[in-house]
Structure 1
Amino acid sequence: MLGSTVFFGLMAVTIRLASESIDTYEVAFFRNLFGLLALLPLLRGRMLASLRTTQLPRYFLRSAIGVASMLCGFWAIGNLPLAQAVSLSYSTPLFVTIAAVIFLHEQVRARRWAAVAIGFIGVLVIVQPGSTQFSLGSLVALAASVLSAVVAIQIKQLSRIDTADTIVLWTYLFWVPISLLPALAVWEWPQGMAWLWVIATGVMGTGGQLLWTRALKLGDVSALTPISFMQLPIVAFAGWLLFDEAISRWTVLGAGIIFAANAYIAHREAQLARRAATSAPVEAVKPGE
């Protein structure tokens, strides 16, 4: 999980570096293109099996929403202070809880709703609506989180049918052409170091996703969630060092509130999952099995 966090933090830095010379729409396309190229060697021997699915229309919808979320998120990273853009991305689990109630009809009790409400207080602390610090760009970052939450629900639904390899592969196969369309409207070939940054963005993104998936398979979500928060000091330090960005105390305070809410939600979900596993009926084992 720590490796995944470092990869995603470095990806945010390379997105900012690339967006200084080309449009963020292009950065998103190259992130997907080079991410796919980095993924294919890892799936050798499993490629044909990973392509088997009966859910192509759902993958297209999931990928289209995912690209919209990516474009909003990349724009936020390219135009907002890095620490603020990343802090607002941590609001995604709050929206996931709401989306799970709407789309999956999950039951959420009072304590988790209270955690969601506290998390949104953290969002307000960062965004500061009504103050001179308020920026419409922060709403773009929040839009990325809302769309990302919808994608998370779709992945949960798809994972009931297809393997993780299938989900990742078809996502990338749709991401590349879908993200190419908006990129063509602002197309300008990268020059010099920009090529390094867009290639690094794709590799870092794929590496982060693979490590994150592996971490969730090996460990408890409630234990891993605090580690993912290390992304904030990484990008805050990079923003200060590379882009001369001051670290706002309101961003730090709001991010801390969102983190506390997310940590409680993850802990609560892990508790409920353990209880469900403990209370599940044990199937009788037949003789000879």
Structure 2
Amino acid sequence: MTPTLRAALWMMGSITSFSAMAVAGRELGGSLDTFEIMMYRSLVGVIAVFTLATVYGTWGQINRRDFGTQIGRNLAHFTGQNLWFYAVTVIPLAQVFALEFTSPLWVIVLSPLILGERLTKVRALAAVLGFIGILCVARPTIAGLNAGVITAASSAIFFALTIMLTKRLTRSQTITCILFYLTVTQLVFGVIMAGYDGDIAVPEVAQMSLLLLIGVAGLMAHFCLTNALSIAPATVVVPIDFVRLPLIAVIGMLVYAEALDIWVFIGGAIIFAGNYMNLWIESRRVS
């Protein structure tokens, strides 16, 4: 089996996991708020990370260095994920995924401020293409611009902050340490935000299965994506990941009778073009 085919199989796992998480999030949106969903999802994550750390004996890797960065990173992810879960309940799933694909472009825009990286002409052009793609997907008119579009677009910014702070943490911390703080702090955030009104909903049996699906799918999505990137270059993996957009559009049509919006595909293609152009040129420069 070639590396490209192996990476493609891992990406199929990632795509399936992301799609399952979106559908489960929409199903739970009518009965649990986003903070409760994140709280229970983080609980599943804590159990998984604690189990893996015990099995592989990696507890010693957990330390208190870069604690401020850990908190900032996890607060950004918690905010972005809450916005994302809200968005999947109020606008078409394909629109959410298309706007989510702008995260790498926000990394380009914000990395000079946070990571001190240089903003090249190619990166600037990629960011401009991404902005044009956002306009196509969101169509900022009185009819097209709504809370769901705004939250989906905002979640991409917070996911970009998460990516950059994760990059900073990987310079000195292990995956076990990062995942430990990710799941534990987000569980604390979830308990605080879900319980601020004194009422945390206890899930029913059917809801528990969906929450378990969200927790497992979230971990599996990133696990599969990481494995794909370790096998093949990003210029191979990113086009495969883009399959998420037409797939979730078909799922939305079949399950929720969502119309297939041509502008979402046009905008998504422009966003993809900006991402891929930047990846392709950067990879050629490195090689």
User: Given the two structures, how large is their TM-score scaled by the length of structure 2?
Assistant: 0.90
- Rg: which structure is higher? 1
User: Does the 8 Å contact 1:6/1:234 carry over to 2?
Assistant: no
Corresponding residue of 1:230: 243
Equivalent-residue separation in structure 2 for 1:147 and 1:56 (angstroms) = 19
User: Does the 8 Å contact 1:27/1:198 carry over to 2?
Assistant: yes
Per-residue CA deviations over 1:19-51 (Å, capped at 9, x if unaligned) read: 132222211221221123233333322331331
**What is the correspondence of 1:75-94 to structure 2 with a 5 Å cutoff?**
75-94=86-105
Percent identical residues: 26
Q: Given the superposition, is the C-alpha separation of residues 249 and 199 from structure 1 closer, same or farther in structure 2, using an over 3 Å criterion?
A: same
Superposed displacement of residue 267, structure 1:
1.6
Per-residue CA deviations over 1:35-90 (Å, capped at 9, x if unaligned) read: 23233333322331331341222211211121111111111112211111111100
User: Does the 8 Å contact 2:38/2:186 carry over to 1?
Assistant: no
Corresponding residue of 1:73: 84
Superposed displacement of residue 131, structure 1:
4.7
Q: Which residue, 166, 170, 176 being the options, matches 1:165?
A: 176
Q: Given residue 278 of structure 2, which amino acid in structure 1 is its aligned partner?
A: I
Corresponding residue of 1:260: 273
Corresponding residue of 1:23: 33
Structure 1: gaps (5+ residues): 275-289
**What is the correspondence of 1:196-275 to structure 2 with a 5 Å cutoff?**
196-274=209-287
User: Given the two structures, how large is their TM-score scaled by the length of structure 1?
Assistant: 0.89
Q: Secondary structure at the match of 1:161?
A: coil
Superposed displacement of residue 168, structure 1:
1.8
User: Does the 8 Å contact 1:24/1:78 carry over to 2?
Assistant: no
Per-residue CA deviations over 1:115-135 (Å, capped at 9, x if unaligned) read: 210111010001111252222
Moved over 4 A (4+): none
Q: Given residue 257 of structure 1, which amino acid in structure 2 is its aligned partner?
A: I
Matched length = 274
2:107 pairs with 1:105? no
Equivalent-residue separation in structure 1 for 2:59 and 2:49 (angstroms) = 14
* RMSD of equivalent CA atoms: 1.6
